[in-house]
Structure 1
């Protein structure tokens, strides 16, 4: 059975897309991009929807067929997003059921064991439906006030989901108060905390259209981040198994 990972956040700018892309690459999976904002995975992958006649996903849903993910160089196969998702997608349960069916097809035809879904930020019908089919829900969490407040609300709503919080963009000396706050918000719940991924300014300046985890020799400044992201992928594998 193909395994589904949904990467989510109740707030933008948490590193959700980076975690989704890198996890998909590290697991040699398909990245299904359902975040139609301009800063999403599809843009950074190098795909330009303006140059295409149609959206592969919308066409697949309209004609009951399985879309074929796009191949790329040193990055995961991509099911690209499209701005028309905001108005043209059917209800979330229909999309989620289709993703499950597509994933099984990709497993048989492409040999892919993992599908990583990059969800749209926030809580909405589509995102909630995609979280419901996931074997594990990964939520990057910068240890900052607004991000922590959004995560607390998410934990209350999703405590019975297979939720893993991934502390992300963590400084060399993590704020003790935020670490305690993170521990307190999951106390008494099955929610887990995954590996920490450190902060590196070089991530925000990076322009390469390939996954960091695919580089044979990442820049020295990126090495701790790459190690953290690979640890996240391994943690997810163990969690699901």
Structure 2
């Protein structure tokens, strides 16, 4: 039985590695010059994790617009206090596209900086800048945003070809989602149920479906609860690993499904 299980895991690993390769190939081609904005009305629901993984899976530049220390830049090993230059702030001043930082097993990254909090452009000029950078790079962009309705979040929304919103099935989280959907009527939105327990709460599932129907937005594949993700120390993205462990196989499977849905809705 152990040998059969090992063989099955290896076969699934090979299939997922090939799927990731194909997603990155399609993402590089079909999402070139498109902007995917990952946002949430409430913090602490897995937005940054999803943004990092999607950026890798779709071969996109990860544009970090979240200035807090729990942001994607810090999660990927970028410590702003070790650098004298701030590419994002320089780009805002000059209008020239920043050069993404490249590292192994991580998406190409334009890191954020705490000073961005008080140097955010107005939404419309930022939207034009993000669109222009995407065109200059000839790449897709995944913009990770600060939770809530800051100017930079609204700018990233204005530039978006698709808005991806992770959703936790909780009362307060769905209240916040409803408020955001009211403000974003008419925008292309994909909701991604996140941190879903083995037995999802029926009332909250029903409410999510009702909200999606009311505001005419799509609901994508779900991501289950993985308690070990909260304490993961590696400064890389899971789907970029050269091999997948028995523990990471399920989450990689779910993330590739979400990336496929993003690709379909954005392209």
Query: TM-score normalized by structure 1?
Result: 0.94
SS of the residue 1:33 aligns to: strand
- 1:56-97: per-residue Cα shift (whole Å, max 9, x none)? 011122123221000011110000000001112322222221
- Residues in 2 aligned to 1:45 and 1:98: alpha-carbon distance in whole angstroms: 24
- Residues in 2 aligned to 1:65 and 1:135: alpha-carbon distance in whole angstroms: 22
Question: Which residue of the partner structure matches residue 193 of structure 1?
Answer: 219
Structure 1 residues without counterparts, runs of 5 or longer:
none
RMSD: 1.2
- Residue number among 78, 82, 100 corresponding to 2:131 in the alignment: 100
- Residue number among 220, 224, 228 corresponding to 2:246 in the alignment: 220
Structure 2 residues without counterparts, runs of 5 or longer:
1-31
Question: Which residue of the partner structure matches residue 39 of structure 2?
Answer: 8
Mapping of residues 72-221 of structure 1, within 5 Å: 72-107=103-138, 112=139, 114-221=140-247
Is contact 2:62–2:143 with CA below 8 Å preserved after alignment?
yes
Q: CA deviation at 1:196?
A: 0.4
Structure with max Cα Rg: 2
- 1:121-151: per-residue Cα shift (whole Å, max 9, x none)? 0012221121011010000011112111111
Is contact 2:124–2:158 with CA below 8 Å preserved after alignment?
no
Q: How many residues align?
A: 236
- Residues in 1 aligned to 2:245 and 2:169: alpha-carbon distance in whole angstroms: 25
- 1:20-66: per-residue Cα shift (whole Å, max 9, x none)? 00000001110000001110000011111101112101112212322
- Residues in 2 aligned to 1:164 and 1:70: alpha-carbon distance in whole angstroms: 28
Q: CA deviation at 1:173?
A: 1.1
- Residues in 2 aligned to 1:143 and 1:218: alpha-carbon distance in whole angstroms: 28
Query: TM-score normalized by structure 2?
Result: 0.85
